[in-house]
Chains A and B, each alone.
Chain A
Amino acid sequence: MAKEKFDIIQSTCIPIEIDNNNTDNIIPARYLAFTTRDPKFYGEAFMHDLRYDANNQPIADFVMNKPEFSAAPSKGVHEIIVGGQNWGSGSSREHAAWAIAGYGVRVVISNSFADIHRNNLLNCFVLPVIVSREFQLELFKTIAENPQAEVKVDVPNQTVTNLTTGNSEKFDINSYKKYCLMNAYDDIDFLLANKEKIEAYEK
């Protein structure tokens, strides 16, 4: 996956107000049989069976197909998803994170994430931002009233702001992961740099 360094992201959002939006929804199992790493392939499969019907036609009333939310993410546009509660539950498939990243999304905001999916997002350089239920519900309301409403995610200061209401919350991320995101640094590189410690542990 492309690794873009994180700093401040200010963007319109895609509201996916589905609770327990499990990773089978985010990417159906049939897309898991492929061995490719092509981000575009997984991006096109993102939320596939809610976006398209059995004849592969867009389902008009699904949020991602509505004209105001259908534009593919680009700088300042739809780089942020506001998701429902318990986002990414179920299967550990990292393909779900590949689908989100491949679609072009850089931040997912929810009041709760499933543990495995949350790690997968971070490993794919998508930032999961945990906010209060109140903040999340206010975001859905703001976006429903104005699909052009913007949200600012400030990684250095660990704040997320609803620019329409001005309400802001601090979000948690440990210093190590923050460093990784801001410097496009991978866990695997950290581990490979710590081989001596691993060998010492084995003895």
Chain B
Amino acid sequence: MNTDNKVCNSCASPLPIEGEMPVGQRGSTLFDKIWDAHVVQNVEDGPTQLYIDRLYAHEVTSPQAFDTLRDKGIKAFRPDHVIAMPDHNTPSDQQERIDDPVGRTQVETLAANCAEFGIKHFAMGTKDNGIIHVVGPEKALSLPGMTIVCGDSHTSTHGAVGAIAMGIGTSEVAQVLASQCILQSKPKTMRINIEGTLPEKTTAKDVALYIMAQMTTSGATGYAVEYAGSAIRNMSMEGRLTLSNLSIEMGSRAGLIAPDDITFEYLKGREYAPKGAEWDKAVEEWKKLKSDEDAVFDKEVTYKAEDIAPRITYGTNPGAGIAIDECIPTTDGMSDSEKEQFLAMLDYMQFQPGQKLEGTPVDYCFLGACTNGRIEDFRAFASVVKGKKKADSVVAWLVPGSWLVRQQIIDEGIDKILEEAGFELRLPSCSACLAMNPDKVPAGKLSISTSNRNFVGRQGPGARTILASPLVVAASAITGVVTDPRSL
């Protein structure tokens, strides 16, 4: 058994060499470059056997994968490429214990499996712990040029550092544990350009909700997306992580952003980042990680940043959204079947076609999740609530994405601002994103949430969810009703 739990933090292969293209051959996309550098073999009339640099494992989607290895009597093939931590079942009020025996067993099973297979484990309640998709980038365990997988659809988050990062199923988790490879057909490529300057109080979350509303939640199915354009180049690393996180809500398993100075600045000096001369060498390699000028994407779309505004969702899929000052669409022009499903969705949400949602009372406000649980999100929230008071009618859960984020909130004095405004800072967890821990929204209650999914029952059976940015959630927490942060 490997007990020292070393972490390998390099790509297995050198990146492709820059050079002259054969005449007539188109340039490569960022996705192509990373993919091609990780091909072990292309199975004839079949998938690609792709090498994986990093597997993240959490308690929910890994136990049956470890069982598979035990069934077959095999060890983890490259345990130093795997990092595990519990996040879904973790309570956010205290982390001394998990009261629910089922959730507790799952968390304990992860710890036992990691010990047995020699895998590094960031235990609940320790300073290393947090939501995988927050912890990975902030510890520089996710680096440009890597292939990264996890049994979690929001693994797309890590693509923001310039990596191929994809959610996989538990069978595939077992495959990676057993062989450090997966079998996948190469997706098509799509570039989404956001050009111009984002308007006031309009964030990466609003950009993602806007794209989904334009292209629907299956608009990018079958594609790996690259985000580009001036609005992306000017976006902070935290914002990029939010945008890449939501790629799966457009249907894309992966959402990449070419690494640049903002990426390097973010990663430099972090715990697992290369140091000294290694760092300089790495940055030189990473600078090659961009789509060639003459790269051709299977699909390319461009949106104007100026057209985007603070947004909210009104339905039970993340694409059912509007600008916060717009009305819910009417059924005009819908087919009978579309109309039936649309009305069923609004019936669940207790909204009407054509209704304006600004001013609608909310019961719960949630800041956190792998979408918006980073330091910038807490700074944004604090900027709105500073010197104001939380509405008495609202229950607010403010949940940092990791212990590092929580520490930074305290170091920056943000916790004091929140406290003075009547908010309590909780402990790192997936929390109210998916009703797998005590933070559940009760049936019928309306939640405005920075998480990623507004599905039926997502935040608790019968719970109703409006997705929004930290600024919109903060403004709504102050007034107790859906509120445009530009109006405060």
* Chain A complexes with chain B: yes
Which B residues are in CB contact (< 8 Å) with A197?
A: 40-41, 49
Instruction: Indicate if the CB atoms of A202 and B12 lie closer than 8 Å.
Output: yes
Q: Are A177 and B456 in contact (CB under 8 A)?
A: no
CB atoms of B153 and A191 under 8 A apart = no
- The reply to whether B49 and A94 contact each other, CB–CB distance below 8 Å, is no
Q: Is the beta-carbon distance between B455 and A112 smaller than 8 angstroms?
A: no
Interface string of B441-485 (1 = CB under 8 A from A): 001000000000101111001100000000000000000000000
B167 within 8 A of A: yes
Determine if A114 and B436 form an interchain contact, defined as CB atoms under 8 angstroms apart: no
Q: Closest chain A residue to B45 by CB distance?
A: A175
Q: How far is the CA of A54 from the CA of B12 in the complex (A)?
A: 50
Closest residue of chain A to B74 (Cβ to Cβ) is A192
B278 CB to nearest A CB, Å: 19
Which residues of B (359-400) have their CB < 8 Å from a CB of A?
Answer: none
Chain B 25-55 residues near chain A, CB threshold 8 A: 40-41, 43-47, 49, 51
A residues 25-46 with Cβ under 8 Å of B?
Answer: 25, 28-30, 32-35, 37
Segment among A66-74, A85-93, A143-151 that sits at the interface with chain B: A85-93
| Number of residues from A at the complex interface, CB < 8 A | 52
A-contacting 9-mer, from B133-141, B171-179, B284-292: B171-179
Contacts of A116 in B (CB 8 A): 153, 166-169, 248, 253
- Docked Cα-Cα span, A37 to B89, in Å, equals 19
How far is it, in angstroms, between the C-alpha of A32 and the C-alpha of B105 when the chains are bound? 12
Say if the beta carbon of B244 comes within 8 Å of chain A: no
Complex Cα distance A195/B170, Å?
A: 20
Contact present for A54 and B183 (CB under 8 Å): no
- Cross-chain contact A94 with B170 (CB below 8 angstroms): yes
Asked whether A86 lies within 8 Å of B217 as measured between CB atoms, the reply is yes
Q: Are A92 and B168 in contact (CB under 8 A)?
A: yes
Instruction: Establish whether residues A198 and B181, one from each chain, have CB atoms under 8 Å apart when the complex forms.
Output: yes
A188–B67 touching, CB < 8 Å: no
Chain A residues with CB under 8 Å of B422's CB are none
What distance in Å separates the Cβ of B434 from its nearest Cβ neighbour in chain A? Answer: 5
Q: Does B61 sit at the interface, judged by CB under 8 A?
A: yes
Complex-state Cα separation, A177 to B436, whole angstroms = 34
**Who on chain B is nearest to A189 by CB?**
B72
A27 to chain B, nearest CB (A): 11
- Cβ–Cβ contact B169 & A123, under 8 A: yes
| A114 CA to B67 CA, complexed, in Å | 26
- A contact residues around B153 at 8 Å (CB): 90-92, 116
Pick from B61, B89, B175, B251: contact of A114, CB below 8 A: B251
Closest A residue to B453 by beta carbon equals A90
- A124: B residues at CB distance < 8 A: 171
Question: A32 and B436 in contact (CB under 8 A), knowing A119-B169, A175-B46, A191-B183?
Answer: yes
Q: How far is the CA of A124 from the CA of B106 in the complex (A)?
A: 22
Binary contact track B243-280/A, C-beta < 8 Å → 1, others 0: 00000110111000000000000000000000000000
Produce 1/0 per residue, A91-130, CB < 8 A to B.
Answer: 1111101000000000000001111100110011000000
Contact residues in A for B218 (Cβ distance below 8 Å): 20, 85-86, 89, 112, 114
- Quick one: closest A residue to B459, CB to CB? A29
Instruction: Find out whether the CB atom of A30 lies under 8 angstroms from the CB atom of B175.
Output: no
Cβ contacts under 8 Å, A187 to chain B: 171-172, 175, 182-183
Q: How far is the CB of A79 from chain B (nearest CB, A)?
A: 21
CA distance A18 to B345 in the complex (A): 11
Q: Could you tell me if B44 and A175 are in contact, using CB atoms closer than 8 angstroms? A: yes
Q: For A35, give its contact among B64, B74, B216, B217 (CB under 8 Å).
A: B64
Partner of B436, one of A17, A19, A30, A191: A30
Q: Residue among A49, A116, A176 with the most chain B CB within 10 A?
A: A116
A145 CA to B111 CA, complexed, in Å: 53
B221/A86 in contact, CB under 8 A: yes
Pair B175/A177 contact, Cβ less than 8 Å: no
The reply on A194 being an interface residue by CB < 8 A is yes
Residue of B nearest to A93 (CB): B61
Q: Which of B43, B341, B455 contacts A22 (CB 8 A)?
A: B455
Asked if B60 is an interface residue, CB under 8 A from chain A, the answer is yes
Docked complex Cα distance between A86 and B181 (Å): 27
Contact of A176 among B40, B46, B248, B457 (CB under 8 A): B46
Given A92-B151, A188-B178, check contact A18 B341 (CB 8 Å). Answer: yes
Q: Does B93 contact A (CB under 8 A)?
A: no
- Given the known interface contacts A30-B436, A34-B102, A191-B179, the answer about A115 and B187 at a Cβ–Cβ threshold of 8 Å is yes
Residue numbers in A under 8 Å from B166 (CB-CB) = 116
By a CB distance below 8 angstroms, the chain B residues around A201 are 12-13, 40, 51
Specify which chain B residues have a CB less than 8 angstroms from the CB of A192 in the assembled complex.
72, 74, 178-179
In the bound complex, do residue B171 and residue A188 qualify as a contact, i.e. CB atoms below 8 Å apart?
yes
Starting from the known contacts A37-B64, A86-B216, A90-B453, 15 additional A-B residue pairs (CB-CB under 8 Å) come to A22-B453, A25-B456, A30-B436, A35-B109, A49-B457, A89-B221, A92-B61, A92-B169, A93-B60, A97-B169, A115-B251, A124-B171, A188-B179, A191-B178, A197-B41
- Give 15 CB contacts A-B under 8 Å: A24-B457, A25-B455, A30-B436, A33-B106, A90-B249, A91-B153, A92-B151, A92-B155, A94-B169, A112-B218, A112-B221, A113-B221, A116-B166, A116-B248, A190-B43
Which residues of chain B have a CB within 8 Å of any CB of chain A?
12-13, 40-41, 43-47, 49, 51, 60-61, 63-64, 67-68, 72, 74, 77, 88-89, 100, 102-103, 105-106, 109, 151-153, 155, 166-172, 174-175, 178-185, 187, 216-218, 221-222, 248-249, 251-253, 317, 337, 341, 434-436, 443, 453, 455-458, 461-462
